[in-house]
């Protein structure tokens, strides 16, 4: 019975990068409403175990699909293209140069107490993230070029990690000031 | 027990049958039991009409145990044997307890969960809590006039694995079938949400006697989705009492009081605190054991100032929970106050200031958790028709991980992940020829193992010696809907497997629970044996009928051999069911149950697939 074997069909959604977040959330809740262990609290241990496994699967599927990064990586994997984030570290030279500049700016901001320094860096990171997502959508949904998409996913991983570090620094700076 | 008898997930097996269930709020200071009667939730009072049962247990020299008000009367005169606020000790060691020097109890210095030496012997917090649960369950049984099917028991959202496990063990010891452990703020949200059919994002600020929780929830069309939770499982009204107690010691120039005076002054401090919720000043007056009088006046402003740091701690946790949910205070549509300690005006003011709105208090903050728990119990029991129900999506409060090289924590499950959740990760060996691996499960947010709480250690042994890095050890964490963890480890080249349900460090073993149960029930009780036999006969008949139905409905889900085994065990059970001997009957019942376990799982799986795809079974099998 090969149904709902991938995250998209579990929620009855097309396997595409472009996803309507509201439709995804509604589908997730509709699925949980049918399989959540609370529905089977009075059932046998075997049945409760199955419900628990299904609910855990739905949670995993939802968490994967709601994050653009994880969704893109998942689509690549579904097509048989591995991301290989650890082993494949080749990046375009321009991207690497930009990353290095960002790192330097971040170190500078970390050393100083001026929170305003972070603002342009945050905007730049946000802008690059948005373009990369657009690029991913075209590559995955139209060109269906999964090798290029996997490379973009690896770049997006860098961007998001950097963005998280920025946000954490902004928060500590804010807490220190307040 | 019975095999899947339902046509569709979400429908109870017998919709017409109303199953008696309750919700229990096992609190630090007071405990309550509530149920749904005539469609409405209500707290069940004792015969004197008192809804709150003080969470106090007194052990007497004659072996009798007093619970609630009778125990409370001896709090000052018999402090060593009168256990108060036992919830703070659940799943904790002596070194975990703050202000232990100011507690009047006789702690046993032993590894694992702390124990208390009483006149009736050594007691652990699980046994003490079980006494409270037993009284509430009996109260409910008497009020409802029937056999209860089970209970939802609430726990602070910020309770960790050891504390949850201890609560579950206490219920088992009290002979209660636990339908679910439910987080207290979530229970409160259910009571509020269903009362007002609210939609939007809500914060539940729950400051109880000994614990603080903050939960941020999103309510949409019958779904309660917890976005984040935070708190402190050792911060509550007791700490405000203790601050006032310390102030009284300073003011009266007292030190090293006998346990009786510690108890007395703590009680007086609590009374003064309660008075300050409605008055601008209060008098704290006590006659100590030596005959000396303490006579102090405390102003509300001074009390607020001396406890400001405690309120601040709750606000810090609240801000963090908001950050985890990626929200700002202004995004919150309503703030619900839960717990008796939220009656303190300076607490209310601080919460109102943080969120920029007046908090909601229309449901009694002492009762709202028990009412929500009763509503959830009613739902879990299948007493509500499909369509007239709701869904709770709750989270795990603290991250779960494993110790890796250098005493660092590798997190497998992040805090605020929606449960149930299953996560696996692969590890490898670091020495040539290694045939075993130690696995250390920890809980907490810090990066060093020594800063996290150790939950369990176990070893996966007996896999073949391989070169370093060649073994593939897959460790799986599974957190169920009660927030309880089970860990499995498996070496994939050899298939060697080890499983632990996490409880050794601070919990009771199954044998200990069985022994304590035996003790509490007393020796051979013929009535009880008769009843057990009858129950097994009923269960046996029910199981046989269910298996027959299942065999007719889904014969394709069984192999020939499986079917032969099941049919043989059915015959064995049928043969024993009319007899008088409980033991072989129970064994036959269990044997059939085991043989059909996998079949039930497959049928359940099929039924879920059918429900999700909206197709019929005959279409699927083609």
pLDDT at A178: 36
Residue with tokens 């009855």: A12
Nearest to A29 among B382, B391, B604 (CB): B391
Chain A residue with minimal CA distance to B607?
Answer: A35
pLDDT at A2: 39
* Cα–Cα distance, B38 to B386 (Å, whole number): 18
State the CB neighbour count (10 A cutoff) for residue B579.
12
For residue B150, give the DSSP letter.
E
Q: Domain for residue A71, yes or no?
A: no
Contact B481 A55 (CB under 8 A): yes
Residues of B in contact with A32 (CB under 8 A): 391, 393
A37-71 confidence digits (pLDDT tens): 998 887 778 888 889 999 999 999 999 999 999 99
- Structural domain including A167 reads 93-177
For range A153-166, the mean pLDDT:
92
Looking at CA atoms only, how far is residue B316 from chain A in angstroms?
11
Name the token pair of B305. 């100032």
Task: Check whether residue A112 and residue A170 sit in a common domain.
Answer: yes
pLDDT at A144: 95
Name the token pair of A77. 């994997």
Nearest to A38 among B392, B417, B621 (CB): B392
Name the token pair of B287. 């006659």
Q: How many residues does chain A have?
A: 178
pLDDT at B521: 59
Task: Check whether residue A172 and residue A108 sit in a common domain.
Answer: yes
Chain B residue with minimal CA distance to A12?
Answer: B613
Q: Domain for residue A23, yes or no?
A: yes
Name the token pair of A7. 């995250």
Going by their DSSP bridges, the two strands B21-25 and B150-155 should be labelled as parallel
CA distance to A50, A54, B297, B379, per residue, from B389 (Å): 21, 20, 52, 7
Contact A42 B13 (CB under 8 A): yes
Comparing C-alpha atoms, which of B138, B133, B110 is closest to residue B47? B138
Chain A residue with minimal CA distance to B11?
Answer: A39
* Cα–Cα distance, B516 to B514 (Å, whole number): 6
pLDDT at B622: 42
A69-107 confidence digits (pLDDT tens): 999 999 999 999 998 877 777 788 888 888 889 989 888
* Cα–Cα distance, B540 to B597 (Å, whole number): 15
Comparing C-alpha atoms, which of B176, B107, B168, B117 is closest to residue B141? B176
* Cα–Cα distance, B397 to B413 (Å, whole number): 10
Q: Are the beta carbons of B214 and B204 closer than 8 angstroms?
A: yes
* Cα–Cα distance, B26 to B36 (Å, whole number): 18
Task: Check whether residue A127 and residue A162 sit in a common domain.
Answer: yes
* Cα–Cα distance, B277 to A102 (Å, whole number): 54
The 10 Å CB-count burial string (b at 16+, else e) for A101-118 is: ebeebbeebeeeeeeebb
Q: Domain for residue A36, yes or no?
A: yes
Q: Domain for residue A47, yes or no?
A: yes
Residues of B in contact with A5 (CB under 8 A): none
Q: Are the beta carbons of B132 and B26 closer than 8 angstroms?
A: yes
Q: Domain for residue A82, yes or no?
A: no
Name the token pair of B271. 């009374």
pLDDT at A92: 85
**Residue A34 is part of a domain; what is its CATH number?**
1.10.287.110
Let me know if B46 is a catalytic residue. no
Let me know if B328 is a catalytic residue. no
Those residues of chain B that have pLDDT short of 70 are 1-16, 499-511, 513-514, 516-528, 614-622
Contact B1 A54 (CB under 8 A): no
Residues of B in contact with A52 (CB under 8 A): 420, 478, 480-481
Task: Check whether residue A171 and residue A101 sit in a common domain.
Answer: yes
Q: Domain for residue A19, yes or no?
A: yes
pLDDT at B468: 87
Looking at CA atoms only, how far is residue B265 from chain A in angstroms?
38
Contact B379 A38 (CB under 8 A): yes
Task: Check whether residue A166 and residue A102 sit in a common domain.
Answer: yes
CB-hemisphere CA count at 13 Å for B531?
6
Contact B422 A45 (CB under 8 A): no
Contact A46 B605 (CB under 8 A): no
Q: Domain for residue A74, yes or no?
A: no
State the pTM of this model: 0.89
Name the token pair of B190. 């259910």
Looking at CA atoms only, how far is residue B290 from chain A in angstroms?
50
* Cα–Cα distance, B161 to B574 (Å, whole number): 42
pLDDT at B11: 41
Alpha helix stretches (DSSP H) within A112-145: 118-137
pLDDT at B517: 66
* Cα–Cα distance, B179 to B181 (Å, whole number): 7
Nearest to A38 among B478, B481, B604 (CB): B481
Comparing C-alpha atoms, which of B416, B472, B4 is closest to residue B218? B416
* Cα–Cα distance, B122 to B117 (Å, whole number): 4
Nearest to A59 among B180, B420, B597 (CB): B420
Model ipTM?
0.88
Helices A118-137 & A146-177 angle (0-180, nearest 10): 160
Helices A68-78 & A118-137 angle (0-180, nearest 10): 30
Residues of A in contact with B201 (CB under 8 A): none
Compute CA B131 distance to the chain's CA centroid, rounded to the nearest angstrom. Answer: 16
* Cα–Cα distance, B71 to B405 (Å, whole number): 50
Backbone angles phi, psi at B200, to 5 degrees: 125, -165
For residue B291, give the DSSP letter.
S
Going by their DSSP bridges, the two strands B421-427 and B408-413 should be labelled as unpaired
Q: Are the beta carbons of B360 and B377 closer than 8 angstroms?
A: no
Task: Check whether residue A21 and residue A62 sit in a common domain.
Answer: yes
Q: Are the beta carbons of B413 and B434 closer than 8 angstroms?
A: no
Chain B residue with minimal CA distance to A48?
Answer: B601
B29-43 confidence digits (pLDDT tens): 999 999 999 889 999
**Residue B217: partners with Cβ closer than 8 Å, 6 or more residues away:** B185, B186, B189, B201, B202, B203, B204, B224, B225, B226, B227
Preceding peptide of B420 cis, ω within 30°: yes
Q: Are the beta carbons of B444 and B398 closer than 8 angstroms?
A: yes
Contact A38 B613 (CB under 8 A): no
pLDDT at B129: 98
- Residue B306's SS3 state is helix
Name the token pair of B374. 């009763």
Chain A residue with minimal CA distance to B611?
Answer: A34
Task: Check whether residue A116 and residue A153 sit in a common domain.
Answer: yes
Compute CA B180 distance to the chain's CA centroid, rounded to the nearest angstrom. Answer: 8
* Catalytic pick among B78, B131, B169, B184: B184
Residues of A in contact with B15 (CB under 8 A): none
* Cα–Cα distance, B188 to B191 (Å, whole number): 5
Rg (CA), chain A: 20
Residue with tokens 């206490």: B170
* Cα–Cα distance, B282 to B154 (Å, whole number): 34
Looking at CA atoms only, how far is residue B143 from chain A in angstroms?
23
Task: Check whether residue A172 and residue A102 sit in a common domain.
Answer: yes
* Cα–Cα distance, B3 to A44 (Å, whole number): 7
Residues of A in contact with B621 (CB under 8 A): 1
Nearest to A56 among B3, B422, B613 (CB): B422
Task: Check whether residue A98 and residue A165 sit in a common domain.
Answer: yes
Comparing C-alpha atoms, which of B501, B446, B499 is closest to residue B479? B501
Q: Domain for residue A2, yes or no?
A: no
Nearest to B391 among A36, A46, A52 (CB): A36
3-state SS string over B462-531?
A: EEEEECCCCCCEEEEEEECCCCCEEEEEEECCCCCEEEEECCCCCCCCHHHHHHHHHHHHCCCCHHHHHH
* Catalytic pick among B87, B268, B367, B503: B87
Chain B residue with minimal CA distance to A171?
Answer: B323
Please report the DSSP string for A30-47 in residue order.
Answer: HHHHHH-GGGGTTS-HHH
**Residue A153 is part of a domain; what is its CATH number?**
1.20.1280.20
Let me know if B25 is a catalytic residue. yes
CA distance to B243, B433, B434, B435, B502, per residue, from B462 (Å): 54, 11, 9, 6, 21
Rg (CA), chain B: 26
Name the token pair of B99. 């202000």
How many folded domains does chain A comprise?
2
- Residue B621's SS3 state is coil
B378-420 confidence digits (pLDDT tens): 999 989 877 788 999 999 999 999 998 889 999 999 999 999 9
């Amino acid at each position: 019975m090969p149904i709902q074997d991938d995250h998209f069909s579990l929620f009855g959604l097309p396997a595409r990068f472009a996803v309507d977040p509201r439709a995804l959330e509604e589908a997730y809740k509709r699925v949980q409403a049918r399989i959540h262990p609370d529905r089977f609290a009075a059932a046998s241990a075997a049945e409760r175990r199955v419900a628990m496994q299904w609910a855990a699967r739905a949670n995993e599927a939802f968490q994967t699909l709601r994050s653009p990064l994880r969704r893109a990586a998942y689509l690549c994997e579904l097509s048989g293209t591995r991301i290989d984030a650890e082993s494949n570290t080749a990046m375009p030279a321009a991207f690497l140069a930009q990353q290095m500049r960002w790192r330097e700016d971040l170190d500078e901001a970390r050393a100083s107490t001026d929170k305003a320094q972070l603002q342009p860096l945050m905007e730049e990171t946000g802008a690059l993230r948005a373009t990369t997502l657009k690029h991913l959508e075209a590559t995955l949904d139209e060109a269906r070029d999964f090798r290029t998409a996997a490379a973009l996913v690896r770049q997006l991983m860098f961007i998001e990690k950097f963005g998280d570090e920025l946000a954490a620094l902004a928060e500590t700076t804010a807490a220190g000031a307040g | 027990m019975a095999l899947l008898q339902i046509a569709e997930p979400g429908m109870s097996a017998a919709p017409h049958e109303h199953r008696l269930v309750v919700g229990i709020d096992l609190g630090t200071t007071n405990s309550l039991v509530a149920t749904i009667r005539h469609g409405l939730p209500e707290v069940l009072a004792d015969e004197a009409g008192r809804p709150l049962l003080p969470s106090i247990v007194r052990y007497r020299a004659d072996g009798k145990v007093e619970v609630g008000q009778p125990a409370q009367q001896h709090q000052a005169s018999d402090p060593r044997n009168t256990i108060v606020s036992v919830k703070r000790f659940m799943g904790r060691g002596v070194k975990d307890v703050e202000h232990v020097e100011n507690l009047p109890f006789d702690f046993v210095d032993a590894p694992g969960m702390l124990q208390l030496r009483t006149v009736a012997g050594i007691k652990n917090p699980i046994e003490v809590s079980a006494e409270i649960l037993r009284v509430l369950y009996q109260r409910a049984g008497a009020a409802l006039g029937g056999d209860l099917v089970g209970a939802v028991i609430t726990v602070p959202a910020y309770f960790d694995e050891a504390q949850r496990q201890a609560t579950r063990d206490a219920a088992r010891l009290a002979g209660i079938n636990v339908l679910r452990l439910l987080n207290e703020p979530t229970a409160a949200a259910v009571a509020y949400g269903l009362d007002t059919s609210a939609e939007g994002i809500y914060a539940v600020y729950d400051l109880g006697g000994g614990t603080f929780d903050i939960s941020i929830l999103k309510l949409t069309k019958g779904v309660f989705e917890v976005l984040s939770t935070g708190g402190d499982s050792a911060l509550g009204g007791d700490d405000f009492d203790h601050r006032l107690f310390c102030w009284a010691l300073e003011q009266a120039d007292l030190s090293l009081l006998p346990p009786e005076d510690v108890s007395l002054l703590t009680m007086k401090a609590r009374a003064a605190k309660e008075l300050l919720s409605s008055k601008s000043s209060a008098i704290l007056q006590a006659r100590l054991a030596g005959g000396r009088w303490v006579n102090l006046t405390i102003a509300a402003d001074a009390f607020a100032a001396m406890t400001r740091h405690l309120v601040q701690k709750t606000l810090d946790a609240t801000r963090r929970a908001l950050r985890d949910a990626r929200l700002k205070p202004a995004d919150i549509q309503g703030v619900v106050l839960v717990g008796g300690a939220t009656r303190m005006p300076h607490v209310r003011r601080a919460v109102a200031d943080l969120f920029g709105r007046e908090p909601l208090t229309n449901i009694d903050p002492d009762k709202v958790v028990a009412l929500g728990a009763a509503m959830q119990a009613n739902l879990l029991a299948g007493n509500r028709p499909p369509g007239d129900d709701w869904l709770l999506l709750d989270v795990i409060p603290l991250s779960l991980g494993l110790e890796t090289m250098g005493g660092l924590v590798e997190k497998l499950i992040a805090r605020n992940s929606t449960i149930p959740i299953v996560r696996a990760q692969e590890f490898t060996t670091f020495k040539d020829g290694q045939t075993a691996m130690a696995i250390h499960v920890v809980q907490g947010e810090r990066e060093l193992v020594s800063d996290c709480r150790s939950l369990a250690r176990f070893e996966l042994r007996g896999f073949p010696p391989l070169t370093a890095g060649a073994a593939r050890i897959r460790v799986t964490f599974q957190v169920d809907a009660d927030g309880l963890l089970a860990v499995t480890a498996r070496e994939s080249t050899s298939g060697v497997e080890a499983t632990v349900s996490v409880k050794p460090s601070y919990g009771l073993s199954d044998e200990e629970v069985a022994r304590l149960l035996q003790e509490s029930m007393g020796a051979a009780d013929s009535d009880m044996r008769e009843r057990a036999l009858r129950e097994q006969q009923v269960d046996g008949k029910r199981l046989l009928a269910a298996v027959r139905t299942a065999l007719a409905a889904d014969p394709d889900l069984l192999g020939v051999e499986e079917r032969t085994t099941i049919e043989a065990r059915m015959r064995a059970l049928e043969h024993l069911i009319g007899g008088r001997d409980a033991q072989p009957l129970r064994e036959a019942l269990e044997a059939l149950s085991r043989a059909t376990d996998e079949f039930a799982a497959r049928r359940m799986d099929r039924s879920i697939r059918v429900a999700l795809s909206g197709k019929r079974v005959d279409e699927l099998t083609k």
